[in-house]
Structure 1
Amino acid sequence: MSSSSSSRRGGGLCVINEDIVQNIVTRLPATTFASAACVSKTWNQICKRVLSRPKLASAVSLNPSSHFAIEEVLDKVLAEPIRPDFAIASVGCGFDLNSTFQIIATRLGSRTPIILSRSRGVIGRDALNDEFREIKWGDAYSVEDYENNTRSGIAMTIGFVPGLKVDVITLIRPNQLALPEPLVDNFVMDIRNYTMSVSGSTSPVGIIMFGCELIDQTLILEKLDYALPGETVIVGDGKSLFLSSGAIDIRHACQGISDLASAALVFARDRNKFDGIGEIQFHVALSNGVSAIGPSYKAVSVRLSESDRATWLTARREGEQEILDGEQILNNIDNELADRIQYPDLYIGVAKRRKISIGSEKARYLKSLSFHGVKGGDEEYLYAYGGGIKTGDHFKFYHSDPDTALNSLRNVSLFLRNLKLEWNSKNVRNMMAVDIVGKREAFGGFIFSCCGRGRSFFGNLNVDSSPLLENFPGVPLAGIFCGGEVGRSISSLTGQGILEESSIMARLHVYSTVFLLMSYTPVPPDN
C-alpha cells in the first residue's frame, strides 16, 4: 500500500486545512461541537479558539405544549458552539417542575449547575422568530389573549464563562417558617468556603439567588451583606418555587419543590484559569417603582402574629407625642395621596439598624430598608405583612408609581449608556498607547422585574427591558417577573431615589426591576 493511500485512509483529517476545520466547527450545534473537540489535539485546540470568549445563549417559548416548549428552547440555546457552565430556566405554572428539570439535566449533563424556578412571567427572545417578548401571566391585550393565556411558557439561559467557576449552593428548608440563625450561618459559610476553594478568596464575583416564597429571605440577605464585600453583586428572585442541582455537590438536587429555602448560583474567580483568558465583570442597576408619601413614623408597640405572618403596630409621627392606631394612620395617608394615583399598592419602608454576625465572628451593625406590604388597619393596629419590625424602628409609606418607574428607567438607561461610552473611550485611549488592551464589551444580561410591573403597569410593551435593549441591542437578554426582586451592590446600584440616607440600602425590593449586565475584557495581545 502506498504512503499516499495510507494518508487518505488513516490520516485524512490531518491534511484538512485548519481554517477549513475552524469554519466547520463554528457552524456546529453544541453537542456536535463537544464531540468534535475530542477528535484530536489539533481539533481540540481549534475548538478552544472558536469558544475562547464568554457566551450567553437564551430563548423563550410560549408553546402551549410544555414538552415542545422545553425542546424549542433547548434546541435554540444549543444551536451554536457552547459549553454550559450554568443554566437558569423559569417556567409558568402549566409546567411540572420535576419533569422539566429532568429533561434539562439530561440534555445539559448532570454536572451542569442548574436552577429551575416557577416565575410570574418570562422575558426574552422567542425561540422560533427571535421576537423580543415580555410576557407576564395574566396580562392580556384582548379577551382572546386572556382566554389563551394558559401560563405555559419557559425562558432558558445557558452560559459559558471562562475564568470563572460556577456552582449552586443550597439552604435546606427547615420544618418551620422562621429560619434558625445557625442554618443561615452555615449557608453563608458554604458560599465563602466554595469561593475560597476555587479562587483563593472568600469573595465571589456575583450571586444569582432564588428564595422560597414561603420563607422570609431578609435574614439570609442580611447575613450575606455582612459576610461579603460590597463589590459582590447579588441579584435574583426572592419569592419563588424552584429546583436546583450543582456541579460538585449533587446531594441536594431536589425531587420536591418544598425542600429548599434558598439557592445561590455562585460565580467565583478561577485561580487556575488558562493564560489568555480575560476578565468578566458584573454590573448592576435598579429601576425603582415606588414613591414616598407622607411623614416619617416611629413604631411604638409591635406584635407579631404567627397565624397570618403579619406585624401589628401602632406609631407616632416624627416630632409628635400622640400614638396613632391603624385607622388614623391610613386616613392620613389617604389624605396625602388624594387624587395622585388610583388604587396604588401601599408599603411601609422600615429603616432598620441590626447587629449581624456569622457564627463566632465579631458582630457589627448594618442599616437596611425593608419593605412590608400594608394589609390594612383598624382602631387598634396597622397591619403589615412579614416580621422583623421592632419598637423604635422608623418607617415611611411608599406607593407604587409608574411615573417614578419611568423616570428611574431613564436614569438606568443613562447609566448604561455612560458605561458603554466609558468602555469605548478607554478602548480608544488604550489603542493610542503603547500597550494595547482589549476592548471591554457586554456579552449577556438578566432582568428581574416585579410582577406588578409590565404592560398592565406602564400601558406599553417591553418597557422594563428598554434600557438594555436600547443600549445593548445585540446582546442576549433573559429575565423573569418576580414576587420579590433581589438587588444588592453598593458600587453600582443606581436609580433608588427613595432613601434619605445613602448608607441605608434595600436588598429585597418591591415594584422594581433589577438589571444584571455581564461584560468581558480580553487579555491584551502579546507585543
Structure 2
Amino acid sequence: MDNKQPSSSSSKNWFGLMNEDLLQNILCRLPAKSFASAACVSKSWNKVCSRILSRPKIASAVSLKSSLHIAVKEVLDKVLSEPIRPHFAIANVGTGSCLEKVLPLLLSTLGSQTPIILSSVNGIIGRDALTDEFREVKFSSNEYINDNIDLHAGIVLTIGFVPGLKVDVIPLLRTTQVPQVSMIDQFVMDIRNYTISVSDCTSPIGIIMFGDEDIEQKSIIEKLDYAMSRETVIVGDEGSHFLYRSRNDLRNVRDGPKHYLDAVALVFASDRDKPQGTGEIQFHVALSKGVSAVGPRHKAVSVRTNNSDYVTWLTAKREGGQVLDGEQILDNIYDELGNRVASSELYIGVTKRRKCSSGSEKAGRITSLAFHGVAGGDEEYLYVDGFGIKSGDYFQFYHPDPNSALASCQTVSMHFRNMKLNSYSKNLQTRGAADNVGRKEVLGGFIFSCCGRGDTFFGRVNVDSSPFLENFPEVPLAGIYCAGEIGRGSSSLMGQESQEESSVRCCLHYYSTVYLLMSYTPAPSEQ
C-alpha cells in the first residue's frame, strides 16, 4: 500500500478543479475567522466569499456566566460561528463586570479597526449563546441565582455586517477650559463632518447613543434632535458607564486630566462608494409608552433652582385657578390616582418652547416635551429633578401604568405585523424578475427598555420583547434595561396619537421601551 502524501502542487490542482458551487457549499459553513482566512487564499476564493457574504447580517448572543472570560468567549464564539465581517460591535455588561477588562478581550478577537461601544447596564435581553433560550434579565442586588449565574454579571454582544453603510464611534468630550455647550456643538459637528466625509448627506441614517449617568443628557439630545434630519433615527441609553473604540485613533480619548467623556455615539451613514447592486438598509423605530397622564394641566408660576441638589422648586396653578404650593398640587394628584398612589412614581411632562441653534447657524424655535421626576412637595414648593423649567411653562403629571404599557406593546406588535405583511404583499406584486425584488428583509433588532419594566412591572416575562418575538422569532435580537430611554424618529410608531402630539418633540422617555428594527431591501440586480 502506497502511503505517500500528495504533494502541495497536487493539492493546489485539486482545489483548482473544485467547482464554485462545491466551494461555496464548503466556505459558507466556516466560522468567521476561518472564512476570513479562506477569502485570502486566491482571487477566485475571494470572489466566492464575497458572493456568500454579499448581504447585511446581524449576529447577537447573551451569556450569564459569572466568569468574565467564559462569558465573553461564549458570546464571541456564537456571533462568529458563521461567516461575517464585523463593521461594528455593541457590548453591554452587568454592573459586576469590569469594563477595562472586557474591552481588550473583545478587541483581541474583533480587531482594533472594528468600532466598538461597551457599556454597563441594568439588565440584558437576548438569546443564550449555548442554549438559544430567550432571556430578559434585570441585574439584582442578590448575588447569585444559582452556581452559574451571577445577577451582577452577564454580557450581550451584537456585531453587524452592513454593506452600503459606513459606521464609526464619535465621542462627546468635555474639558475644564471649554464650556459644555460648546462641546455639544462640536459633538454635532463631528457627527456631521464624519457623515459628509463618507456620504452625500449631512445627517446619518441612524445613531445609537450612550450617555454618562452622571451627566445631564437632555440638552445633548435636544441639540442632536434639532440639528439632525427628521429622517435620522436616534436611540440609546441615557445613563450608563461606557468605553469605546473608534476606527479613527484621534477619537480614542479616555477620561483623564484634560478630557471627560459625556456621551458616545455609534453613527451609521450611507456609503457614497457602496458597490453597484447593493440594496438599502433602513432603520425603523417604535415606542411602547409606559406612563399615563393624570390630572389637569398646570402652569408654572414661580420657578427656582437648587444647583447643589440639581432640583427645581416651583409653584403652579391649574388653568383658570389659584396658585398652589407643592403640598396642594400633590394632594390633588393623589386624589386623582386613588388607590394607585402607594406604589406609583410621579413625573411631570413639561412642554417647552425654546430657541435652539447648532453652531453658527441661525436659531430656530422648537417645542419639546421633557420629563422630570417628582422629588416631593411641601407648603412652599413642588420639587422636581433637573433644570430647564421656566415660569409660564405648562406641565402635566404622569405615572407608570402597566396596563397602558401592555396595550402599547400590543400596538407596536400590530405595526410590526403589518410591516411584515406589507413587505410580503409587495413581494408578490413584483414577482416575475426575481422573487426577492422589493421585499424588505428584517436583519435584526435592538431593545432599549426602562429598568423599571420587565416581569416585576407586567407580572409576566418577555412582554417587552414580545413585538419582536411574535413577528420575527428567527431574527437576531439584543436589548438592555436603561436608566432613561432615548428614542427619536419620524415614524408613526413613536406613539403619537394626534397631530398636536406629533408637533411636540420628545426624545427622552421613562418607563418606556424603544424598539430599533433594521431592515434590508435588495437591489433589483440582486438574485
Tell me which interval the TM-score lies in, with the shorter structure as reference length. over 0.9
- Secondary structure of 2:104's counterpart equals helix
Distance 1:516 1:230 in 2: 16
Distance 1:411 1:146 in 2: 39
- Counterpart position of 2:357: 357
- Counterpart position of 1:451: 451
- Counterpart position of 2:439: 439
- Counterpart position of 2:24: 22
- Counterpart position of 2:3: none
The one-character-per-residue Cα deviations of 1:344-369 (angstroms, maximum 9, x if unpaired) are 11100000111010111011001111
Shift of 1:500: 5.4
Distance 1:401 1:38 in 2: 56
Residue 138 of structure 1 contacts residue 149 of structure 1 at CA under 8 Å; is this kept in 2? no
- Counterpart position of 1:155: 156
- Secondary structure of 1:464's counterpart equals coil
- Counterpart position of 1:34: 36
Q: 1:256/1:515 Cα in 2 relative to 1: closer, same or farther (>3 Å)?
A: farther
Mean Cα displacement is larger for which, 475-484 or 197-206?
197-206
Matched, 1:323 2:323: yes
Q: 1:169/1:289 Cα in 2 relative to 1: closer, same or farther (>3 Å)?
A: same
- Counterpart position of 2:72: 70
The one-character-per-residue Cα deviations of 1:139-166 (angstroms, maximum 9, x if unpaired) are 98x9956996531110000000000000
Shift of 1:138: 2.2
Shift of 1:480: 0.1
- Counterpart position of 1:210: 210
Distance 1:410 1:63 in 2: 32
- Counterpart position of 1:119: 121
1:173-188 residue pairs with structure 2 within 5 A?
173-175=174-176, 180-188=180-188
Shift of 1:251: 3.6
Q: 1:366/1:172 Cα in 2 relative to 1: closer, same or farther (>3 Å)?
A: same
Unaligned runs of 5+ in 1: none
1:461-476 residue pairs with structure 2 within 5 A?
461-476=461-476
Q: 1:216/1:21 Cα in 2 relative to 1: closer, same or farther (>3 Å)?
A: same
Matched, 1:242 2:242: yes
- Counterpart position of 1:304: 305
The one-character-per-residue Cα deviations of 1:35-82 (angstroms, maximum 9, x if unpaired) are 111000001011101111111110000001111111111111111110
Letter in 2 for 1:300: V
1:291-440 residue pairs with structure 2 within 5 A?
291-320=292-321, 322-340=322-340, 342-431=342-431, 437-440=437-440
Letter in 2 for 1:396: Q
Distance 1:334 1:251 in 2: 50
Mean Cα displacement is larger for which, 351-360 or 428-437?
428-437
Structure 1 segments (4+ residues) deviating >6 Å: 145-148, 255-258, 433-436
Matched, 1:277 2:281: no
Distance 1:404 1:300 in 2: 31
Residue 334 of structure 2 contacts residue 341 of structure 2 at CA under 8 Å; is this kept in 1? no
Distance 1:205 1:94 in 2: 34
Residue 115 of structure 1 contacts residue 245 of structure 1 at CA under 8 Å; is this kept in 2? yes
Matched, 1:488 2:483: no
Aligned-pair Cα RMSD in Å: 2.5
The one-character-per-residue Cα deviations of 1:94-127 (angstroms, maximum 9, x if unpaired) are 1100110111111100010000000000000001
Unaligned runs of 5+ in 2: 1-5
Identity across matched positions, percent: 61
Distance 1:188 1:398 in 2: 31
Residue 165 of structure 1 contacts residue 269 of structure 1 at CA under 8 Å; is this kept in 2? yes
Residue 292 of structure 1 contacts residue 498 of structure 1 at CA under 8 Å; is this kept in 2? no
Shift of 1:14: 1.3
Q: TM-score of the superposition, structure 2-length normalised?
A: 0.94
Q: 1:147/1:342 Cα in 2 relative to 1: closer, same or farther (>3 Å)?
A: farther
Q: 1:146/1:80 Cα in 2 relative to 1: closer, same or farther (>3 Å)?
A: closer
Mean Cα displacement is larger for which, 457-466 or 217-226?
217-226
The one-character-per-residue Cα deviations of 1:436-471 (angstroms, maximum 9, x if unpaired) are 824211010000000000011001111100001101
Out of 36, 60, 63, the position equivalent to 1:61 is 63
Distance 1:345 1:484 in 2: 15
The one-character-per-residue Cα deviations of 1:153-192 (angstroms, maximum 9, x if unpaired) are 100000000000000010113459x962211011001101
Out of 76, 93, 99, the position equivalent to 1:97 is 99
Distance 2:149 2:247 in 1: 38
Letter in 2 for 1:343: S
Q: 1:273/1:360 Cα in 2 relative to 1: closer, same or farther (>3 Å)?
A: same
Equivalenced residues, count: 521
Letter in 2 for 1:59: A
Shift of 1:493: 3.6
